[in-house]
Amino acid sequence: MMDDTDRAIINALQGGFPISETPFVEAGRALGLSEDALISRIAALRQSGVLSRFGPLYNADRFGGHNTLVAMAVPEDRFDQVAAAVNAFPEVAHNYQRDHHFNMWFVLAADSRARVERVLTEVQAVTGLPVHDMPKLTEFHIGLKFEA
């Protein structure tokens, strides 16, 4: 169960994280927490599944890489199993369940289009399900944040 401090951490850190030699000290100070307390709470939030990941999001295109949006139609009784298999790929981020025939949507970012294609082939092999690749043509920044 989250408390008010956990909510404050989630709300504050969605908007950025200090880039410095001691980022957890700085972020903790802004939240009234010690470095160790902040690290422990983030670890506990990850372990409990409240947070699925904690880390930077990179714009792969600006590093010479490639992004794509992927949709899959996953049988409901296999959804959790397929989600775990898909999420095991380090290139996968933002995996969401939708109320639609294509009920799994995720973003894949890799260092090249060739790597994206290899990961998509591997996802199909591991899951036995087709993937629908929708490469990014235009980027829109919407500043999505979820208030905890």
Would you place residue 49 in the very low, low, confident or very high pLDDT band (cuts 50, 70, 90)? confident
Q: How many CA atoms lie within 13 A of 8 on its CB side?
A: 12
Q: What is the DSSP letter of 129?
A: S
Would you place residue 134 in the very low, low, confident or very high pLDDT band (cuts 50, 70, 90)? very high
- Alpha helices by DSSP H, listed for 32-146, are 35-48, 79-87, 113-127
Question: Angle, nearest 10°, between helix axes 4-13 and 35-48?
Answer: 90
| Phi, psi (rounded to 5 degrees) for 133 | -90, 125
Give me the chain's average pLDDT, please.
89
Report pLDDT for 148. 65
Q: Indicate the burial class of 57 (C-beta count within 10 angstroms; 0-12, 13-18, 19 or more).
A: exposed
Report pLDDT for 42. 94
Q: Which residue would you say has higher pLDDT here, 2 or 9? A: 9
All structural domains of the chain, each given as residue ranges with its CATH number in brackets, are 4-48 (1.10.10), 60-135 (3.30.70.3460)
> pTM higher than 0.85, yes or no?
no
* Segments of 10-74 assigned E as strands: 66-72
- C-alpha of 96 from chain center: 9
Would you place residue 58 in the very low, low, confident or very high pLDDT band (cuts 50, 70, 90)? low
